[in-house]
Structure 1
């Protein structure tokens, strides 16, 4: 799909930000008959949405703060995702060990899980169960037994490819009539007589300015919400986002086959070690952050913290900074909270902030998380309809399947696809995991043109047809969009550098790029990877990031 040329138009709703929340708002609003445009200066889900822990939380952590509303909402939304996106959201067992010296004693955790099971009645994939220390040591022999008091095995959910969740929200929003302009910067708000009447935009590639007139504007820019308002809308500070960093490592001695959710010795923060895409993710930190939102990288201190805590809980792991394949850092879009001493106490819920009467026509979304994106969108759309005087219209997204699950029987589709696909079993399984039923689109292209069946990435077996689908159908503009957020080969050990030239070549031959564009995209992709501090690039440059900004 070529890059959109933005033009002047009248819409009901302009949404700033194409992260999981902005895209979900567009999908919900379009499903209820509103004319919607979404604008993002980068790619779909390229900010906070792609830097999360990739977990669809039932909300267990929020019980500790007695936030029952958020727990119930999280449980409901997890249940709906199991049903509406079964190709992307999977059962995920999680072991919570407790040790002597932990700030949360085992009996308290067990009690919390009993309460959670009660709240999740009818929406839980099996009850949690307590395990004595002996049983834990037998089943997870590499786990430290020093001070081990027991554990609980808890069932939650994971979305291994949060990036694809965003892509599918985009596909569905567009199918419902929404327009999504990526790589397009919002340069200001249109104001008329004390009312916000839309947005000013500029195409990042052509530099072409335009205006989008809108009856309502929603600022869903995540950690950047205050920047959108700055200089135009007088407002107290709304975003108080904290920095969360993760590191990705290869399997290590004693690496577990389930997620381990434990308390760090250094600061009593709950952290995870979990299997993901054949590797392991360690995370995350939770630091106050006042630095540049566009230059968020994991610091040496954060990486050391995650490695030290993992080595403590898995004494045989022996992980060193040299084992880190890459790191991922992002800013949680949390509400600004004055004088908080423990960032874990900041609410993870969301609010819809109206700027009326001084700036009627403008709403800002504060907070939100991957799990509850749909509920947030329903709340925002309800409020937009109310303010537009359109009256209530039934929300359709509770029962609407994602495009990759648009089939009467997902398990039957998957079984048939595996049986009939001419690709290897591993390639076919990966296509299903990434594209769901849309894997058929990829396969049809590859069958029609054998050149598109060529493997472009050895580690995953990804094929050339995926590049074409990314550009023609999934809104990818840059090589980073293709590799990191469509095909996902950029999230492997070499961050897609081993596939970049081949994929750029496919785009030249099949997606309208020329040789100059391909060269520029390869350079741009390498530059984009620097924020991950990838091991493969470490030798060639001083990594960005320092501890200066985090406190």
Structure 2
């Protein structure tokens, strides 16, 4: 996968997709698979903003039982199944423990009825999932004794046990989006990161493409297309306002959804644990009380969250403040006795902007958005050639994309093949047994490669792991792990050579595991920078600028401020 801006400038596309998060990537892949000529541009790196800061959970819709929203339950379960089916190296089931109390709405009986109803509504949830380890089981229940043994920090007063249901979890959200982009390129799409659509190109009263800017070199050029899909998430309104003078009507409200990472397991085993928050859901028809917070095992770390806040400012400038982090730590420590978490335990804070319901900025009990928003501007303001998609949750990306591309094809007057997006494995997803694939990789890597690095390699690359193995054989120096991490030098080289990693941040945050749970140490960063410099021909000044950028991002995240969106960070980095 190479960054070829000349192919964007000289092409005539059926569809130009603006935004390289999960919604834009999935739409580009579906359109390309169906035979459309597709371009995809992203102002930062692929999955560099909201999608990068996902809580890593693939929700199957059980929480929508409280809203009696059966269509959304079905849609979410369908999307979860799609991820498990087409990207089994990057998605797997996640058991979630829900403690039960007393005889009311929080009782085991009520939860048993709810889980039974959910299992029935999603009875087809494992259709077409080849790997048994990727299938979602029915829910089950734990006794009070079992719960207190495994989760001694829970409030024992009135505790009757727990229910357990499974959702999905992503191993690496940016690599999951990247797999969609790679597959789109294999299907014929032309994709490029660090290319911003700065303005809509209008001719004869219709949108005919975009004016784009190469954010690495500063050059501007046109990308011509019969239809533009604006899938830029919180940046979608900016593109509309800059080109058309106004955004959507009504404007989309956003929430800053935030969580933090602790680099150790806070609860036993591989199950997530729900804890009561201090807020409730005002839209719930049947409520169990407070909304849930989660302690979620992820790799060797724990994800803690999620907290929501109405946000109406610049999508490049949102942050997590130290007082907010302190309040969240206090809330978690009260909900689970014995954690005793302090800011020193947090290695990364993470936040992204997602569509939200209509709320007062000071509201405590917030309304969430329930549906994604697809706007056809021919109907909204008589402007042909433009669709805007505001996706509500990472989870629904592959399902929503099918409907969006259906609308694109209708607008283009094209009859195309049915969608294969939910059944065709993405790059790396062509295998039937994950553990067998790990065993195969262990046989093929050079002797001495540790088991943790092999497993991480297979998670990130799936059935395409052989491309990295070839680099291990080509350059023995790249066989070494970077610092104390489990990332091999060859993974950085592969990112630079074949995965369009244009900056050090692209490589260490979104192509491998190096910086995804915190600062890996200066030795690891410097080793990664040396490999990037060798592969991309950087001089010493560029290497230092890239290292400074990555260290700044890690420092901001570590001190309680969210990682800046990738496009904003690039504006502040001097590249020579």
Is residue 526 of structure 1 aligned with residue 564 of structure 2?
Answer: no
Q: Is the 8 A contact 1:261 1:272 kept in 2?
A: yes
TM-fit CA distance, 1:415? 2.1
TM-fit CA distance, 1:366? 2.0
Question: Paired residue for 1:277?
Answer: 299
Q: Is the 8 A contact 1:243 1:332 kept in 2?
A: yes
Q: Distance in 2 between matches of 1:228 and 1:109?
A: 45
Residues 60-81 of structure 1 show CA distances to partners (whole Å, capped at 9, x for unaligned) of 1122122211110111221222
Question: Paired residue for 1:60?
Answer: 62
Deviates more, 1:281-290 or 1:263-272: 263-272
Deviates more, 1:398-407 or 1:336-345: 336-345
Question: Paired residue for 2:271?
Answer: 258
Matches within 5 A, 1:42-53: 42-53=44-55
Q: TM-score, normalised by structure 1?
A: 0.91
> CA 1:488–1:406 in structure 2 vs 1: closer, same or farther (change >3 Å)?
same
Q: 1:433 aligns with which of 459, 472, 475?
A: 459
Matches within 5 A, 1:497-512: 497-512=522-537
> CA 1:298–1:496 in structure 2 vs 1: closer, same or farther (change >3 Å)?
farther
Residues 187-239 of structure 1 show CA distances to partners (whole Å, capped at 9, x for unaligned) of 10011232111111111122111011110100101122211111433431342
> CA 1:408–1:279 in structure 2 vs 1: closer, same or farther (change >3 Å)?
closer
> CA 1:393–1:3 in structure 2 vs 1: closer, same or farther (change >3 Å)?
closer
Q: 2:19 aligns with which of 17, 20, 34?
A: 17
Query: Secondary structure of the equivalent of 2:14?
Result: strand
Question: Paired residue for 1:541?
Answer: none
Query: Secondary structure of the equivalent of 1:151?
Result: strand
Q: Is the 8 A contact 1:386 1:392 kept in 2?
A: no
Matches within 5 A, 1:346-425: 346-357=368-379, 358-407=382-431, 410-422=434-446, 423-425=449-451
TM-fit CA distance, 1:397? 1.3
Q: Distance in 1 between matches of 2:560 and 2:229?
A: 39
Query: Secondary structure of the equivalent of 1:213?
Result: strand
Q: Which runs of 5+ in 2 are unaligned?
A: 127-135, 281-289, 564-568, 570-576
Question: Paired residue for 1:207?
Answer: 218
Q: Is the 8 A contact 2:276 2:335 kept in 1?
A: no
> CA 1:536–1:426 in structure 2 vs 1: closer, same or farther (change >3 Å)?
farther
TM-fit CA distance, 1:464? 1.5
Residues 389-444 of structure 1 show CA distances to partners (whole Å, capped at 9, x for unaligned) of 00253101121112112246554333222234322222211211221122211111
Aligned residue-pair number? 537
Q: Is the 8 A contact 2:61 2:76 kept in 1?
A: yes
> CA 1:106–1:192 in structure 2 vs 1: closer, same or farther (change >3 Å)?
farther
Question: Paired residue for 1:286?
Answer: 308
TM-fit CA distance, 1:168? 0.6
Deviates more, 1:181-190 or 1:23-32: 181-190
Is residue 514 of structure 1 aligned with residue 539 of structure 2?
Answer: yes
Q: Distance in 2 between matches of 1:193 and 1:105?
A: 63
> CA 1:52–1:99 in structure 2 vs 1: closer, same or farther (change >3 Å)?
farther
Q: 1:474 aligns with which of 496, 499, 507?
A: 499
Q: Distance in 1 between matches of 2:525 and 2:467?
A: 22
Question: Paired residue for 1:308?
Answer: 330
Q: Is the 8 A contact 1:254 1:317 kept in 2?
A: no
Q: Distance in 2 between matches of 1:17 and 1:56?
A: 21
Q: TM-score, normalised by structure 2?
A: 0.87
> CA 1:409–1:247 in structure 2 vs 1: closer, same or farther (change >3 Å)?
closer
> CA 1:114–1:305 in structure 2 vs 1: closer, same or farther (change >3 Å)?
farther
> CA 1:254–1:465 in structure 2 vs 1: closer, same or farther (change >3 Å)?
closer
Q: Distance in 2 between matches of 1:319 and 1:446?
A: 40
Q: Which runs of 5+ in 1 are unaligned?
A: 539-543, 545-551
Q: Distance in 1 between matches of 2:149 and 2:547?
A: 49
Q: Is the 8 A contact 1:242 1:343 kept in 2?
A: no
Q: Distance in 1 between matches of 2:508 and 2:62?
A: 33
Is residue 493 of structure 1 aligned with residue 518 of structure 2?
Answer: yes
